[in-house]
Structure 1
Amino acid sequence: MSRRVIVTGGASGIGARIAERFAELGDKVAICDANPDAVAAFAKSHPTISAEIANVAQADAMDVFLSAIEEEWGGVDVVFANAGTGGPAARIEDISPDDWRDCLAVNLDGAFLTCRWAARVMRAQGSGLIVLTSSTSGQWGHPHRSPYATAKWGILGLMKTLAMELGPAGVRVNAICPGAVEGERMERMLANQSRASGRDPDTIRAAYAEGTSLRTWVTADDIADAGIWLASPGASKVTGQALTIDGHTETNSA
């Protein structure tokens, strides 16, 4: 039976791969993203997936996007609250209040707005799965990335609480905590972190891999695999869990 799947931040990176993989399984998929160019490119290459422009940090924009989905589909089975931003890379004394708030707004407020809607819809239908994207930075902390780490820790608190609130209604809530994921976003982050720390980007890149037991980065497909498993019957009793996909971080030496 075809599932109804929503992915926020779905026009590129992890979100795009999650959307693609569920669509390949025959599921009905809708994504939103704040980047108009990315949405246009995604829509052109994925004609069977609904793609809309919406900034997850803006309540009005999310209301429009999610209300349209609810009206068309009548409900939803799987929601990935995936949208996020890396935020500034700097020592905390060099981070402006506006940059701090912007990072938390996209990562944490965006998750709240998405989950707020999903909770209402799923509670009413008595079933559903919410998956939030956190990070190993939300488990270890991350020097020069305090707004990002703070938001990702907050996402785990939100996930744990919603699992408790929604479990009696038959709704599961989990989080995926990716490590260093190959792709354009991490390349931008490496450049920002290099400027903040004065270290060479290649040195930082190597440190991420060396800080894991498997000595590796992970891919968007690795994260999508975890999402597909969480949505499968094999994970029907899994809720309130932070599933870390990172090659096992031994130390956050990056």
Structure 2
Amino acid sequence: MRFQGKRAVVTGGASGIGRATALRLVEEGADVLIGDVDIAGGQELAETSNGRIRFQKTDVTQAADIEALMAAADAAGGLDILFNNAGAAGARDKIDEISPDDWDRTMSLLLRSVAMGIRYAAPLMAKRGGGAIVNTSSVSALGSGYAPTAYSTAKAGVLHLTKVAAADLAKHNIRVNAVVPGFITTNIFTSALGLEGAVRDHVNGVIAQTAAHAQPVQRAGRPEDIAAAVAYLASDDASFVTGTHILVDGGMLIGTRASWDDSVPGLFSSLEAAAS
């Protein structure tokens, strides 16, 4: 029960990684307030939590909504943990095609929201003597080809924001870290394509099968895998950890596919073959 007596806020908590993390924090003793634009999903989770999870409609592209969410947590007893997780795929256009407005909307959703989450949570944590903030980044922050350009750029910004915020807030005993998911089976991919119902479920199944072969760990990543890493970073077990990130990607970024898949020729083996 690492979070007994602790109060947490999770944005994007109605589904996927946010939902799994809210449940993990509750399992370990926390009381959780989730913010999301998904009213039905948020209310359903709250209603089945025996009072341990509360829901507040929150659009993280609106700073006033973020401020109100943090204030609600504070009014209910204080704020100890913040998981800045809300997001979506954003604009899918390449850099030579994207419109300024689509770029700005993606940055607002994925990067500005994290900055404002920290902005409005930090003073509330400081008056309680400290706290822990965890931000969701992505493997796309560490290389090209994993996600659309605007999304990848925003997630790279989240990683750097994590570092500088950790430095800014150390004097308040507030730790700031990030989790970097790999190929995790959530609805983020199908939502970006506008898929619903049976078609969405079918495509999610295909994604899960594909993900099992996308990295050395031969299974799809699950929201619970990320929740476990977030729980560590938010806990006192990580009391000496700040300004960094945990990569939870099944080994996807170990190296090129040839580094772990013998069926794919690598550069060195190709040169050997050419020389023989």
C-alpha distance in structure 2 between counterparts of 1:165 and 1:116, whole Å: 11
Query: Is 1:242 the counterpart of 2:267 in the alignment?
Result: no
* Aligned Cα root-mean-square deviation (Å): 2.5
- CA distance, structure 1, for counterparts of residue 249 and residue 135 of structure 2: 16
Task: Tell whether the 8 Å contact from 1:142 to 1:252 is kept in structure 2 after alignment.
Answer: no
1:252 CA drift (Å): 8.1
Correspondence for 1:151: 154
Aligned-partner residue type, residue 61 of structure 1 = D
Range 202-211 or range 2-11, more displaced: 202-211
Alignment of 1:24-35 (within 5 A): 24-35=27-38
Corresponding residue for residue 58 of structure 1: 62
Post-superposition offset of 1:203 = 8.8
Deviations 1:125-144 (A, max 9, x none): 32110000001111113366
Find the partner of 2:71 among 67, 83, 89.
Answer: 67
Counterparts of 1:120 and 1:202 in 2: how far apart (Å)?
Answer: 43
User: What is the letter of the counterpart of residue 169 of structure 2?
Assistant: L
Within 5 A, what are the aligned runs for 1:65-214?
Answer: 65-73=69-77, 75-142=78-145, 145-189=148-192, 208-214=211-217
SS of residue in 1 equivalent to 2:127: helix
Distance 2:43 2:126 in 1: 33
2:232 to 229, 232, 239: 229
Deviation at 1:240, TM superposition (A): 1.0
Provide the C-alpha distance between the structure 2 equivalents of 1:178 and 1:241, rounded to a whole number of angstroms. Answer: 14
Task: Identify the range of structure 1 (136-145 vs 110-119) with the bigger mean alpha-carbon deviation.
Answer: 136-145
The residue identity in structure 1 corresponding to 2:66 is M
Report the CA distance shift for 1:66/1:92 in structure 2 as closer, same or farther (over 3 A).
Answer: same
Deviations along 1:25-69, one digit per CA (max 9) or x if unpaired, are 221111000122322332333342110101011012222222122
User: What are structure 2's unaligned runs of at least 5 residues?
Assistant: 196-202, 258-276
Q: Is the 8 A contact 2:169 2:175 kept in 1?
A: yes
Q: 1:205 to 1:15 in 2, by over 3 A?
A: closer
- Partners of 1:106 and 1:204 in 2: how far apart? 24
Q: Give yes or no for contact 1:180–1:186 (8 Å, CA) kept in 2.
A: no
Q: How far did residue 170 of structure 1 move?
A: 1.4
Task: Give the TM-score normalised by the residue count of structure 2.
Answer: 0.80
- What's the secondary structure of 2:96's corresponding residue? helix
3-state secondary structure, aligned to 1:176? strand
> In the superposition, relative to structure 1, how do residues 191 and 213 fare at CA in structure 2: closer, same or farther (>3 Å)?
farther
Query: For residue 11 of structure 1, what is the aligned residue in structure 2?
Result: 14
Equivalent residues of 2:67, 2:117 under 8 A apart: no
Q: Which structure has the larger Rg?
A: 2
Alpha-carbon distance, 1:24 to partner: 1.7
Q: Quick one: which amino acid aligns to residue 32 of structure 1?
A: G
Aligned letter for 1:35? D
Identity %: 34
User: Would the alpha carbon gap of residues 189 and 217 (structure 1) be closer, same or farther in structure 2, given more than 3 Å must change?
Assistant: farther
- Equivalent pair of 2:70/2:79 in contact (CA under 8 Å): no
Structure 1: runs of 5 or more not aligned: 193-199
Q: Output the TM-score relative to the length of structure 1.
A: 0.86
Given that residues 130 and 172 in structure 1 are in contact (C-alpha distance below 8 angstroms), is that contact kept between their aligned partners in structure 2?
yes
Local SS of the residue matching 2:87:
coil
